[in-house]
Structure 1
């Protein structure tokens, strides 16, 4: 697998929560180089940090890795605000060297234009019915808690990982309809802005598809799917899943990652006061 990309997009890392796979994010970022790194919202989970979340050293290491990419690889990093890190509204827009924090952006590559946004502003639940969004967050947190216990016993029996929340979302008709509506509405927005595609996150469902002539790309999340979008230097996009990388078969000279064939920022607290 190629390890040098033009652009990598990650979203929904939810640092500050027990479900965040911060160690996996750091390990992932160490395997790849890119000219542009776009952190597309919900990187820090301010909602959970206000309640029961805890900021741990492993969460700080994600930002240490990003800063090292800026310093050593001259990577340009754009952090786009999501609904869970909406505290960033207090500092938007901000640009310091190769790091910028914005609400959204237009990305141009190989003659194509993409509107990049977390996606929550086009979600009626998170924008108009915030209390329902908080209630949904509580329910999702409970599913993740339950999921961890289910998979603890599955591992003891030698069974593969099972995503309870993904299963629920795929079976509940209203959830399926919501996702489809979300995707189509975002494509309409991209078209209205004269763009060829939309790049988003928010709904924790990685996807690459074309909807009515508009490219729809969703980078997924780093709570369950552990996925990222990557664009090569020819303008081709692909989804990369952490769990499909075999880190044990790296080429020591080239640093390649072979796909599996078979298968303490305490200052952040000031934002919440």
Structure 2
């Protein structure tokens, strides 16, 4: 059982055929936290308008979150662009899950974090309509390749591997867009007087310090299968969770050095 203070999750895309709901369900059932922040695109209404896809695992993820909320876990849902219809219900609760347009969180180390989905930063990145359309369609191709690549891997006994994330990490244009998004997020946090920001939206997990601001992107459950965790001591860890689990990054860096020394 993974015991922690806070869990941050975004971009689950329940209702989309590429959602890795089984991995997320396994993570949630093996985790215990005081708070869970759902930072947008948990349910993919856009995808369901094109094609209805709602297997049992997707329902179980929602039931698990509702159950945790009923058991006393603070669950806060900050809708994103794919579930923006829920923004109309800000300030209300559904089965003890609170809806908010954005949230704040102070870590056990006293670091004040701004929590958003991240689609509001799109205008700062200045992508044109054609660039957005092209990016969305290319990503759909990557997800198609990712889906079939992993089906073949499992036939030969291999574990899940994010082919989509691997390809994105080697495309200069994608890396440039990710960097622009990161800078926009850091600028927003700094302007608001925060010590850091936690967001999602671009499906690129990352935990770094830049310009004295903690930038945390908790990734997604479409291809990366990642979540951000705050430990009891206030340190932050970015976890990948599929057949095998491991940490991708740790803050503060000293915590990682101590872990290696042990």
Q: Contact between 2:5 and 2:35, CA under 8 Å: does it hold in 1?
A: yes
The structural deviation recorded for 1:191 is 0.6
Residue 88 in structure 1 maps to residue 86 in structure 2: yes
CA distance in 2, matches of 1:149, 1:141: 13
For residues 133-152 of structure 1, the aligned pairs below 5 Å read: 133=132, 136-152=135-151
Tell me which moved more, 116-125 or 129-138. Answer: 129-138
Instruction: Give the SS at the match of 1:194.
Output: coil
Instruction: Give the SS at the match of 1:171.
Output: coil
CA distance in 1, matches of 2:42, 2:113: 21
Residue 54 in structure 1 maps to residue 44 in structure 2: no
Q: TM-score, normalised by structure 2?
A: 0.85
CA offsets 1:28-52 (integer angstroms, 9 cap, x no match):
1111111100011110111101112
Instruction: Give the SS at the match of 2:104.
Output: strand
Tell me which moved more, 226-235 or 53-62. Answer: 53-62
CA distance in 2, matches of 1:221, 1:179: 14
Structure 2 CA distance for partners of 1:152 and 1:23, relative to 1, 3 Å: closer
CA distance in 2, matches of 1:156, 1:77: 37
What does residue 43 of structure 2 align with? Answer: 44
What does residue 242 of structure 1 align with? Answer: 241
What does residue 195 of structure 2 align with? Answer: 196
For residues 98-137 of structure 1, the aligned pairs below 5 Å read: 98-110=96-108, 111-124=110-123, 129=128, 133=132, 136-137=135-136
Aligned residue pairs total 244
CA distance in 2, matches of 1:57, 1:156: 23
Q: TM-score, normalised by structure 1?
A: 0.81
CA distance in 2, matches of 1:18, 1:216: 29
- Gaps (5+ residues) in structure 2? 247-262
Instruction: Give the SS at the match of 1:208.
Output: strand
CA distance in 2, matches of 1:41, 1:173: 27
Instruction: Give the SS at the match of 2:169.
Output: helix
CA offsets 1:226-269 (integer angstroms, 9 cap, x no match):
111111122111112213339xxxxxxxxxxxxxxxxxxxxxxx
Tell me which moved more, 217-226 or 236-245. Answer: 236-245
CA distance in 2, matches of 1:178, 1:89: 26
CA distance in 2, matches of 1:162, 1:229: 19
Structure 2 CA distance for partners of 1:207 and 1:113, relative to 1, 3 Å: same
The structural deviation recorded for 1:91 is 1.9
CA offsets 1:154-201 (integer angstroms, 9 cap, x no match):
344455544332133112211101101111110110011110000011
- Gaps (5+ residues) in structure 1? 247-273
Q: Contact between 2:4 and 2:231, CA under 8 Å: does it hold in 1?
A: yes
What does residue 181 of structure 2 align with? Answer: 182
Q: Contact between 2:125 and 2:181, CA under 8 Å: does it hold in 1?
A: no
The structural deviation recorded for 1:207 is 1.1
Instruction: Give the SS at the match of 1:122.
Output: helix
CA distance in 1, matches of 2:216, 2:125: 20
The structural deviation recorded for 1:134 is 5.2
What does residue 219 of structure 1 align with? Answer: 218
